[in-house]
Structure 1
Amino acid sequence: MIRFTFLFLLIIFKTEAQTSVLNVADSLFAHGNYSKAIVQYKAYNNPPEVYQKIAKAYIAIGNYEEGFINYQKAVETNPENILLKYDFGKFLYRTKKFKKASEIFNQLVYKDYKNPNFHYELGLVLEQLQDSTAQNRFHSAFQLDSTHQKAIYRIAKHHLKKGHNTLVDKYIDIGLSTYKNNKELISLKAQNYYVRQQYEKAIVWFEKLLELGESSAFIHEKLSLCYTQLYEYEKAIEQRKLALKFNPLDATSIYVIGTYYEELGDFKKAEEYIWKALALLDKPLDAEYIRLATVLNRQKKYKKSIEALKKAIQENPSNEFASLQLAITLEAYYADYDAKIKAFEDFKKKFPKSKLISFVNNQISILKEEKFLNEEKKED
């Protein structure tokens, strides 16, 4: 009897000791002491019960390989645990083990076909594997749960890429009917109007994103382009400047702001921004220098315009328009008629077969006639 009692007490003691080990390990994990928690979990005498916890602890300290090994052991020793498999599948997706993840989610779909999230997660994995059946999984998730916002977004985004604009509207409206402030769907709605060139409607939805606290270079750039299409250049400039806050050295945005100022007739500002852009751009700049020259000409800064056009020609010697604009600017800059005429004659020598020759010949004729009339006045 005494021996039996001793054994009974020993069993109770060991059980309580193991329970204590598990409680200590869980407490360490909860307080972020993951490495110490792992040591305690490994001391537990029922490994299948703690493999998942060990896996999560390893993942928490960035050891994804050990995390994978222990997740694998957890699944192998608990094959009927659906929630465990679901967590494992999501871990595989995050660590880009897409083929293995597809196996896990296929098993889950087979096990519980009516669970919309299993279909959705499988769809995400199939997307990464570039499997065309991914959309089937998203549609299954939607059919099982018509309020599944993430599935709706994937379906709508797919139709937007395909140019199925009516279907984009259909799914977005369904999603927004149950969650009116879904930022992802609102963004798709704005883009859908933008690609259809319905700029006023696009503005409403891009502005809605700003109201909801979303602010990005993409949103501000698109708003800027929408306002440009409506000839509202002040607002277009405002949005481009907001976009610049995300990338202050974005030469393209700086250059575009310059062109907007040109449209407003503020040539001084246009010159300022185009110069800034030219200092940053690392590509053939003939078009940009021509634009700058145009702005300078509008301010009658012919000498600076000539310099800009010469740089444009250096960037692209075959640009006929740059050479022609140079000739026209030299005509405005020079007082001497022979110098004016020579500027156009130089163009003819450089581009004898140009389609612009008839215009150039006409300008030479006008200048020669003006020179003759001017000389006659002097003689009188």
Structure 2
Amino acid sequence: MYNLKEGILIIALLFQVCLTVAQEDKIKLADSLSAVGKQKNAIQLLEDIQPKTDNIYLKLAKNQRAEGLTEEALQSYAKVLAKNPDRVLTAIDYGELLIETGRLVKADSLFNDLIVKYPDNANFRYRMGLIKEKQHDKMAEYFYYRAIALDSTHQAAIYKIVKTQLKRKQFSNAIELSNLGLDTNPNNVSLLSVLGQAYSASSQYEKAIPVYEKLLSLGQESAFIYDRLGFAYYRTDDLAKAAENFKSSLDIEDRNSATHYNLGKIYNQMGDLKKAEQHLLMSILIKKQPVDAEFLSLGLNYKDQKDYKKAMEYFELALEENPDNERALLERAIAADAYFKNKRSVLSYYHKYLDKYETIGNEQMIAMAEYRISELKKEIHLAE
């Protein structure tokens, strides 16, 4: 005999099954939409699902975060944690979003609780370091060191400490710790970059070169890397490779005054005076600060071309930019010596140099000026 209560129960179960199937279809569709970057459509589907499980809220949070709806994402995470405060992975995601959005007090409290519960977790110490750093709290460094103490291979914490050591010019510590991190991950471009900078800053250019070359091989092409590599080759007297890398830098950023200046100096030393002139002039055109060093280099370039008149013009410009440029003052006298026939006029240029630098200048430059003054006086005396 047909039982009405049983019939109602069966209908209710069937309805629930249909509802569950419909929800699963919506979830699958939402996942598919999310996978192809249509987070907005995925959110609409997920919001229609009732009642919402923790899984639905977490999917919502993921899509809301990707769509830039940070307030909504935070609310979705908070709803899950309100019912299940021990969900560690959810707490981490929530905490990271709090840090990203500047809710540092809440983030501090959350990760402090996690540290209490899991004192041996290096990642929680690292994230607390990030919070303290954003709060300009000196305790940040302590938490980064604690992260490394708990996990000596923690790449992100190592990078943070190495950057600080590089800034403080503690180059040996920066090099040692960078290499420790690279033992675990040899292709960590952040650590390779600071290692190269530490080698360069401590004048270990032979060691810096392979580090910068590796960065380039890993696809890290930038004007910064090419400039650093070019300068390292320059310091190891490989002028051809130095020029090659500085040119590569200019291919990326052609308005860098320092790169043009370095390339101009290198071409000058290589004897390509026309190219040297081109890059030194470009350096001056670009630079917006005092350019006495560039004018001096251009003057030396024209002196090497035996164009002493033009050399003097640029030495004068260098002195206008910086009246205390000792080298420019002496080089002006040397150029005048080669250009003017009137020895008494030439003598006055050397005296102007000695008047200023006889007691405070470079010993070799002073000796050169004194010797030439002595010779000129003899030449003037003989001519009379």
Q: Shorter chain as normaliser: what TM range?
A: 0.7 to 0.9
| One of 136, 139, 144 as aligned partner of 1:138 | 144
Judging changes above 3 Å, is the alpha-carbon distance between structure 1 residues 126 and 19 closer, same or farther for their aligned structure 2 residues? Answer: farther
The correspondence for 2:225, drawn from 219, 233, 238, is 219
Distance, in Å, in 2 between the alignment partners of 1:352 and 1:181 is: 56
- Tell me, in whole angstroms, the C-alpha distance in 1 between the residues paired with 2:176 and 2:320: 53
Moved more, 164-173 or 250-259: 164-173
1:110 corresponding residue in structure 2: 116
Q: TM-score, normalised by structure 1?
A: 0.81
In 2: Cα distance, 1:140 partner to 1:323 partner: 56
Aligned mates of 2:322, 2:174 — CA distance in 1: 44
| Aligned mates of 1:257, 1:220 — CA distance in 2 | 12
Partner Cα distance (1:236, 1:273) in 2: 14
Task: Give the AA of the match of 2:226.
Answer: H
Gaps of 5+ in 2: 360-365
Cα separation, 2, equivalents of 1:321 and 1:219: 31
Give 1:34's match in structure 2, choosing from 36, 39, 45: 39
Which residue in the other structure is 1:44 paired with?
49
TM-score for both structures, normalised by structure 2: 0.80
| Further displaced range: 178-187 or 88-97 | 178-187
Alignment of 1:176-215 (within 5 A): 176-215=182-221
Match of 1:237 among 231, 239, 243: 243
Q: 1:87 aligns with which of 89, 93, 104?
A: 93
The aligned counterpart of 2:67 is 61
Aligned to 1:97: 103
**Paired residues of 2:175 and 2:199 also in contact (CA < 8 A):** no
CA contact (8 A) 2:350 2:373 kept: no
Mapped pair 1:256 → 2:258: no
- Whether the aligned pair in 1 keeps the contact of 2:354 and 2:369 (CA below 8 Å) is no
Contact residue 26 and residue 37 of structure 1 kept, 8 A: no
Q: How does 1:331-342 map to 2 (within 5 A)?
A: 331-335=337-341, 337=342, 341-342=344-345
Deviation at 1:259, TM superposition (A): 1.1
Q: Which amino acid aligns with 1:27?
A: L
After TM superposition, list the pairs within 5 Å mapping 1:218-367 onto structure 2.
218-316=224-322, 322=328, 325-335=331-341, 337=342, 341-342=344-345, 345=348, 354-355=356-357, 367=376
The amino acid across from 1:127 in the alignment is E
* Partner Cα distance (2:335, 2:81) in 1: 78
Following TM superposition, by how much is the alpha carbon of 1:90 offset from its aligned partner in structure 2, in angstroms? 1.7
**Offset of 1:168 from its aligned partner?**
4.0
- Give, in whole Å, the separation in 2 of the partners of 1:366 and 1:173: 58
Q: Assess if the C-alpha contact under 8 Å between 1:89 and 1:105 holds in 2.
A: yes
CA apart distance, 1:230: 2.3
CA gap of 1:19–1:341, structure 2 versus 1, over 3 A, is farther
Q: Which moved more, 1:71-80 or 1:158-167?
A: 158-167
**C-alpha distance in structure 2 between counterparts of 1:197 and 1:351, whole Å:** 33
SS in 1 for 2:252: coil
Partner of 1:6: 8
Q: How many residue pairs are counted as aligned between the two chains?
A: 371
Paired amino acid for 1:95? T
Checking the alignment, whether the CA contact within 8 Å between 2:329 and 2:353 is kept in structure 1 is no
Summarize the Cα distance change of 1:198–1:306 in structure 2 as closer, same or farther, 3 Å threshold.
closer
Residue number in structure 2 paired with 1:175: 181
Rounded to whole Å, the distance in 2 between the matches of 1:189 and 1:361 is 47
Structure 1 letter corresponding to 2:112: N
Identity %: 33
Give the whole-Å Cα distance in 2 for the aligned partners of 1:352 and 1:188. Answer: 45
1:301: Cα distance to partner?
1.3
Gaps of 5+ in 1: none
What SS does structure 2 have at the residue aligned with 1:255? helix
Aligned equivalents of 1:136, 1:316: Cα separation in 2: 45
For residues 232-259 of structure 1, give each alpha carbon's deviation from its aligned partner in whole angstroms, at most 9, with x where no partner exists: 2222222222222331111111111111
Quickly say closer, same or farther: Cα 1:298–1:96, change in 2 above 3 A.
same
